[in-house]
Chain A
Amino acid sequence: MFWTYAALLLLVFVTANVYGRFRAMQMAGNQLSALHSRPSYHGGYLAILAVLPASVLLIVWAVIEPRLLNTLVINANAQLVEGLYKPELQAFLRDARAIAFGGIVGFSDAGKEQAAEVFASLARISFYLKTTLILALVAGGLWYGNRSIHPAMRARHFVERTVMGLLILCSAVAIFTTIGIVLSLIFESLMFFRKIPIMDFVFGTHWSPQSAFEGAGADHGETNTKIFGAIPLLVGTMLITFIAIMVAAPIGLLSAIYLSDYASTPVRAIAKPVLEILAGIPTVVYGFFAALTVAPFIRGWGESIGLSVSSESALAAGLVMGIMIIPFVSSLSDDVINAVPQSLRDGSAGLGATKSETIRRVVLPAALPGIVSALILAISRAIGETMIVVMAAGLAANMTVNPLEAVTTVTVQIVTLLVGDQEFDSAKTLAAFALGLLLFCITLALNIFALRVVKKYREQYD
């Protein structure tokens, strides 16, 4: 239904556009120079006037109609739904809708039939009302637009402003979605902190939320607050991230230097995209590479020199994660190294410095802030990574810095807390939101820091 209207409006849009052009040319006596705005802007003007109000109505209608109908039906059948719990009420409305508009009906009874009738009649009214309003808006827009088309009219300004409005709307959607996500994160976390003291969470050293409600008939009052300590998760995250950076920083940086200053153009043309393919490999593929290839290899190697290595180890996950973020480091560093002006390299070479001296003493110091920010972005990518760690590092919240042991990370615990059927108000599931908030704060801080460094770097050359 919605799409039929949308298609109709599109048709109106195209027609009005064509007609507006024609009309503007006609009024200007076919003389382009007599027009303030080019004919296509007049077309756009008319089309926007005809379609935009109707589109807004259509969208608003689609959003509020179902709720409005529900409320009206509930009011009309107040005695039927009295005393129903929320899920029951929802089931009732769902069935009534299914009876009225077709669909799978759970089971039907007289009450639901009655409600369905109300639904059907309301929907009919809504349909006629909507159609009339849309037609009126389209006709009104066309009439007004047609009347106001005039050679001196500033159609261009109108169209430009509408386009700008649309762009603002789209960016607002992105921004408000972000804000919404953060708010819901904060809100749920607050619920969690009402059950578990924030200090116990942030500074606690013991993490085993699966054992939160031991004992039959445990209620929320008995929640053990001492098992939600996030420190072991943070330590695990840091350990794995540290290993990953130890792998990615040297390899990524050195290959960036090779690509930007040593590689010939053909080599560069091939090597750079190949490196960037690494970034396109799905993380789950890295995950089973880590779990099935690297972890057993490390275990075998460890045993051969007499170390006990658990089959899921921080080392395996960290190594593979390091490989995964190499392209972040190399690609970004390559960009900042290339941004160092050629004149500095020439100046250094002109004094008799070799290529490697030039790079060590001039290029790298000049590019350092950019490289640091590349590393920080790579770190925040590593901190947020889940799949590799789930598959290769394990679930045990050990508080250790031994890379040969199994550890777990913040992201992995969020996954395990939310997998399966969960009550959404238990401390256990709410803990996932608190962890999410923690993670968000850490990566946000890192990103802000990186952006500041980049900004400082930009100022240096402009």
Chain B
Amino acid sequence: MALEMTTDTLSAVDTTVSAPPAVSPDGETLKMRGRDVKVFYGDKQALHGVDLDVRKNRVTALIGPSGCGKSTFLRCLNRMNDTIDICRVKGDILLDNDDIYDPRIDVVELRARVGMVFQKPNPFPKSIFENVAYGARIHGLAQSKTDLEAIVASSLQRAGLFEEVKDRLDEPGTGLSGGQQQRLCIARAIAVSPEVILMDEPCSALDPIATAKVEELIDELRQNYTIVIVTHSMQQAARVSQHTAFFHLGNLVEEGLTNDIFTNPKDQRTQDYITGRFG
């Protein structure tokens, strides 16, 4: 019932449902578009008008020195900033053709479409099964127990975790290793069939092997999802992303194909950052 209502409100806003999707100059579909995004924490401005497009079925990496506003921008994309009292967001962010900050948009529905994976793996203190089933339950995605089991299994499979945990689905998710926990969190996000997955430094708490697995996974997920990832590792950005955006002091300095950014940066600050001169 609740779900139906939210879909209604969404389509009510979405008067241009049949409008053609926005397209980039080079012909790629734009899944999300940020226009002049400004973010304030109290009196302090953290983003000074960012214009950034997120391309469909691509991995977009956000890089930049600590405190430059990468997480802040990422959190704007599914309105996680709403949970911070003092945070205000100005400008427009469009998901397909819907303005996600439109007051008529239901943030619950939005977050089902734009999922998030956090820096530190944060499985719920529940069983592995319940962790993955959580989103499906609250959104009423499964009609029956078999439905739910199918959703859990396929999500775990897509997250590359199924083989490792299929015999202990009822053990606590907190008992897994760090890398497994992070993939569990990714499975949990996938289970609600989002269109976009946001990842804030998903590998920063993992060892190299677990990191490699998650990176591999991100590359596979690109087939079905649009991914935005924040990372501090140039190598990681180069390995997993097709597009890269470089932030500095709350400004978007440069964005473009990952290859171009890393081999031929236009801005001196980008050059300095990727060659490790600051940051």
- For the complex formed, measure the closest distance between the CB of B156 and the CB atoms of chain A, giving whole angstroms: 16
Q: Give the contact stretch, choosing among B62-70, B132-140, B163-171, B231-239.
A: B132-140
Q: Is the CB of A352 within 8 A of B138?
A: yes
Interface residue? A76 (CB, 8 A) = no
Given A348-B134, A349-B83, does the pair A366, B125 have CB atoms closer than 8 Å? yes
The reply to whether A353 and B138 contact each other, CB–CB distance below 8 Å, is yes
B214 at the interface (CB under 8 A from A): no
Q: Is B111 an interface residue (CB 8 A)?
A: yes
> In A322-341, which residues have CB < 8 Å from any B CB?
341
Let me know if A349 and B118 touch, CB within 8 A: no
Contact A344 B118 (CB under 8 A): no
* B108: chain A residues within 8 A (beta carbon): 352-354
Q: For A346, list chain B residues within 8 Å (CB).
A: 80, 83, 116, 118, 122
**Partner-contacting stretch, out of B29-37, B41-49, B185-193, B240-248:** B185-193
The reply to whether A365 and B125 form a contact with Cβ atoms under 8 Å apart is yes
> Could you tell me the distance in whole angstroms from the C-beta of B93 to the nearest C-beta in chain A?
16
Residues of chain B lying within 8 A (CB to CB) of residue A365: 125-126
Q: How far is the CB of B23 from chain A (nearest CB, A)?
A: 28
Q: Does B112 contact A (CB under 8 A)?
A: yes
Q: How far is the CA of A274 from the CA of B158 in the complex (A)?
A: 51
In this complex, the member of B111, B115, B120, B137 whose beta carbon has the largest number of chain A beta carbons within 10 angstroms is: B111
Query: Among the listed A341, A351, A354, A366, which residue makes an inter-chain contact with B189, where contact means beta carbons less than 8 Å apart?
Result: A351
Known: A347-B185, A366-B124. Is A361-B138 also a contact (CB below 8 A)? yes
**CB of A304 closer than 8 Å to a CB of B:** no
Q: Determine whether the beta carbon of B124 is less than 8 Å from that of A362.
A: yes
Q: Are B116 and A350 in contact (CB under 8 A)?
A: yes
Contacts of B134 in A (CB 8 A): 348, 351, 353, 361
Shortest C-beta distance, A360 to chain B (Å), equals 10
Whether B109 is near chain A, meaning CB under 8 Å from some CB there, is yes
Q: Say whether B26 faces chain A, with CB atoms less than 8 Å apart.
A: no
- Contact present for A352 and B139 (CB under 8 Å): yes
Partner of A352, one of B118, B123, B135, B185: B135
Structural contact, A347 and B85, CB atoms closer than 8 A: no
CA distance A343 to B185 in the complex (A): 12
A264 near B85 with CB under 8 A, answer: yes
CB-CB nearest in chain B for A343: B122
Any B CB within 8 A of the CB of A422: no
Among residues of A, the one whose C-beta sits closest to the C-beta of B124 is A362
| Most B CB within 10 A of own CB, among A345, A353, A365 | A353
B116: chain A residues at CB < 8 Å are: 346, 350-351
Is there contact, CB below 8 Å, between B115 and A350?
yes
Rounded to whole angstroms, the CA-CA distance of A361 and B131 in the bound complex is 11
Of the residues A264, A265, A352, A366, contact of B112 by C-beta under 8 Å:
A352
| Distance between Cα atoms of A348 and B116 in the complex (Å) | 10
Q: Are A357 and B111 in contact (CB under 8 A)?
A: no
Question: Is the C-beta of B226 less than 8 angstroms from some C-beta in chain A?
Answer: no
How many Å lie between the Cα of A104 and that of B126 in the bound state?
Answer: 75
Least CB separation from B139: chain A residue:
A352
- In the complex, whether B78 has a CB less than 8 A from a CB of chain A is yes
CB distance from A262 to the nearest CB of B (A): 12
Task: Answer yes or no: A460 CB below 8 A from chain B CBs.
Answer: yes
A27 to B62, CA, bound (A): 67
> Which B residues are in CB contact (< 8 Å) with A345?
83
> How many Å lie between the Cα of A366 and that of B78 in the bound state?
25
Given contacts A344-B124, A460-B125, contact A350 B138 (CB under 8 A): no
Q: Complex: how many Å from CA A265 to CA B85?
A: 9
Find out whether the CB atom of B111 lies under 8 angstroms from the CB atom of A349: yes
**CA A235 to CA B24, docked complex, whole Å:** 77
A161 to B135, CA, bound (A): 58
Bound form: Cα–Cα A460–B188 in Å: 21
Question: In the complex, A345 Cα to B116 Cα: how many Å?
Answer: 12
CA distance A354 to B137 in the complex (A): 13
In the complex the two chains form, what is the Cα distance from A348 to B126 in whole Å?
13
Are A351 and B118 in contact, CB atoms less than 8 angstroms apart? no
Chain A residues, Cβ within 8 Å of B124: 344, 347-348, 362, 366
- Contact residues in A for B122 (Cβ distance below 8 Å): 341, 343-344, 346-347
Q: Which residues of A contact B185 (CB under 8 A)?
A: 347
User: Which of B78, B118, B138 has the most chain A CB atoms inside 10 A of its CB?
Assistant: B138
Which chain A residues lie closer than 8 Å to B118 at the CB level? Answer: 343, 346-347, 350
Q: In the complex, which residue of chain A has the Cβ closest to the Cβ of B198? A: A350
- Closest B-chain residue to A366, C-beta based? B125
Cβ–Cβ < 8 Å partners of B83 in chain A: 345-346, 349
Chain B residue nearest to A460 (CB atoms) is: B125
Q: Are A352 and B126 in contact (CB under 8 A)?
A: no
In the bound complex, CA of A264 to CA of B85 (Å): 8
Complex Cα distance, B135 from A346, in Å, reads 13
Alpha-carbon gap, A351 to B107, bound state (A): 10
Q: Which residues of chain B have C-beta atoms less than 8 A from A366's C-beta? A: 124-125
> Closest B-chain residue to A340, C-beta based?
B125
Separation in Å of the A456 CB from the closest CB of chain B?
Answer: 12
Interface string of A219-263 (1 = CB under 8 A from B): 000000000000000000000000000000000000000000000
A33 to B247, CA, bound (A): 53
Which A-chain residue is minimally distant from B106 (CB atoms)? A352
- Of residues 264 through 314 on chain A, the ones whose CB sits less than 8 Å from some CB of chain B are 264-265
Q: Is A357 a contact partner of B138 (Cβ separation < 8 A)?
A: yes
CB distance from B92 to the nearest CB of A (A): 22
Which among A264, A343, A344, A352 has the highest number of chain B CB atoms within 10 Å?
A352
C-alpha spacing A348/B192, complex, angstroms: 12
> How far apart are B171's CB and chain A's nearest CB, in angstroms?
15
Q: Which residues of B contact A265 (CB under 8 A)?
A: 85
Encoded as 1 (CB less than 8 Å from any B CB) or 0, chain A from 362 to 396 comes to: 10011000000000000000000000000000000
For A349, the closest partner residue in chain B by CB is B83
What residues of chain A lie closer than 8 Å to B139, measured between beta carbons? 352
> Nearest chain A CB to B36's CB is how many angstroms away?
25
A347 CA / B187 CA spacing, docked (Å)? 12
Q: Which residue of A lies closest to B134 (CB)?
A: A351
Please give, as numbers and ranges, the residues of chain B lying within 8 Å of A362 by CB-CB distance. Answer: 124
A350 neighbours in B (Cβ, 8 Å): 78, 80, 111, 115-118, 189
Q: Which residue of B lies closest to A355 (CB)?
A: B83
8 CB < 8 A contacts A-B: A344-B122, A346-B80, A350-B78, A352-B108, A352-B109, A352-B111, A353-B108, A361-B137
A351-B112, A353-B138, A361-B138 known; 5 other A-B pairs, CB under 8 Å? A343-B118, A350-B80, A350-B189, A352-B112, A352-B139
Closest 9 A/B residue pairs (Cβ): A350-B116, A352-B111, A343-B122, A352-B112, A351-B135, A347-B122, A352-B108, A353-B138, A366-B125
